[in-house]
Amino acid sequence: MIPTDAPQLNEILTLETRVWEAMVLGDRQLDAQVLADSFLGVYPSGFAGKADHCDQLRDGPVVAEYRLSSARLRCIGNAAALLSYRASYRSSGSAEWKVMLISSLWEKEGGKWLNTFSQDTPETGGRMHE
């Protein structure tokens, strides 16, 4: 893995923000534009593909507001980057804020960056391997 520079981090973080904006807007088309057809999501609820991720928006927004922080990026060659960050968010219709640690793999396909993998881990504040 090659350490990244700030411009690359900003570029990938901007793309990741589009996924979050799609969830705030309930915009299935925007969501589909940034996810690869082969997208795999690993969530506390189980595995999800691109169709599953987009279909969560069929009835509108699923996120009311969010904050992304502690972003870091690992470049894997010239065509892949692993973005890891902390996401605080509030689901639509809820007053409760939740926190996830997220790792999101972006790969360049046909000259365009696409999200191919994402794993969300609830932040519990506990020790590793507890």
Asked whether 127 and 111 are in contact (CB, 8 A), the reply is: no
Task: Just give the CATH number of 2-122.
Answer: 3.10.450.50
Edge-to-edge order in the sheet of strand 2-3? 2-3, 63-75, 80-91, 97-109, 112-122, 35-43, 46-49
Structure confidence by residue, pLDDT tens digits, 11-41: 999 999 999 999 999 999 999 999 999 999 9
Structure confidence by residue, pLDDT tens digits, 91-104: 999 999 999 999 99
Structure confidence by residue, pLDDT tens digits, 43-77: 999 999 999 999 999 999 999 999 999 999 999 98
Coil/strand/helix, residue 14: helix
Residue 1 has pLDDT above 50, yes or no: no
The pLDDT, as a whole number, for residue 2 is 47
For residue 116, CA distances in Å to 73, 98, 104 come to: 15, 24, 8
For residue 127, name the pLDDT band (cuts at 50, 70, 90): confident
pTM, 2 dp: 0.91
